[in-house]
Amino acid sequence: MSTPLLRIATRGSPLALAQARAVRESLARVHGWEMRALDQLCPFVVVKTSGDRIHDKPLAEAGGKGLFVKEIEEALIDGVADIAVHSLKDMPAEQPKSLIIAAVLPREDPRDLFIARDGSPFQSLREGARLGSSSVRRQAQALRARPNLQVMTLRGNVETRLAKLARGEADATILAQAGLNRLNLTVEGGELLDWLPALCQGAIGIEIRGDDVRARDVVVPINNATSAAAIACERAFLAALDGSCRTPIAGLAKISGNRLSFEGEVLTLDGRNSWSALREVNFHSSDHAPLTAAGREAALEIREAAGDKLPRF
């Protein structure tokens, strides 16, 4: 049997390439491909996105989530690549109509890790300390708990942000534990936070052209049903809130057997106001309709409770 050739579109950061390799190796295991032949069987199409090029302003001001996705999706639509690998937390709620998420890998640890330059835990960080993050969600959650901190923008990939912290450009920062795990990085003195993460944090999605039957047949066998179910709920919550990188939105769906529990929240930028909603729902197999309904209903509950205070950008 001949082995299909897939060109994989990905960003070029160390984390993005680690995620693309994880997808490629998962495909190799399920299809029996030789690992040493993967560069030829599934070459990477490295795409530099707008988010990679813009360094002089916060992402929220530059255009939000789509900055890390747009050019990769264009490569897919134009036929330059056959599949695209994304951090699902970077994907806008709406996709181009011709594209679909065909598979989701098993989700990594979705929690945030707080790292202080002096090793302090989050609640003991000194008053007025500079907390560096490009995420408005993390900034808002931090200010809700510690309004006496000074939040500032800290851009760059994982290694760059750690280097900036070491140089003293900030007193502390917050990173996704999933990214550190995928890069095999351990940060001494880091503190896992118990607040809600970004929607879809820790999840890798594989996007394809909706009419590409060959690509779908190749990638569907590596889909993790549990992760895909959780992501369906979280993305429905995001879509119903018209969420973007400019909106402090958090949420996490947890699945036990055929039961999903979801908690989502929206905050104002200063963290002074927040609204949350909980949902629990039973579902069966690949029927995501109850899950997307739960996400939408949670979002509508928050929209009604917040009224005209709900952040809109």
Whether residues 133 and 28 fall in one domain: no
Q: What are the tens digits of pLDDT across the range 104-118?
A: 999 999 999 999 999
Domain span at residue 158 reads 112-192
H or E stretch covering 52? helix 50-53
With a cut of 90, say whether residue 266 has pLDDT above it: yes
Kind of pairing between the strands at 112-116 and 274-282: unpaired
Give mean pLDDT, residues 151-167.
93
Residues 101 and 116 in one domain: no
Known catalytic residue at 270: no
Answer yes or no: is pLDDT of 297 > 70. Answer: yes
Domain count, the chain: 3
The pTM score is 0.91
Q: Which of 90, 112, 171, 212 is catalytic?
A: 90
Query: Looking at the structure, do residues 53 and 87 belong to the same domain, yes or no?
Result: yes
Residues 1 and 103 in one domain: yes
Does the pLDDT of residue 65 top 90, yes or no?
Answer: no
Average pLDDT, the chain: 92
**Does any domain span residue 198?**
no
Residues 229 and 286 in one domain: yes
Q: Does 217 share its domain with 73?
A: yes
Q: Any idea what the CATH number is for the domain that residue 95 is in?
A: 3.40.190.10
CATH number at residue 295: 3.30.160.40
215 with 182, same domain: the answer is no
Domain presence at residue 135:
yes
In a domain, 250, yes or no: yes
Whether residue 100 is found in the same domain as residue 141: no
> Is residue 54 pLDDT above 90, yes or no?
no
Q: Return the biggest CA–CA distance within the chain.
A: 64
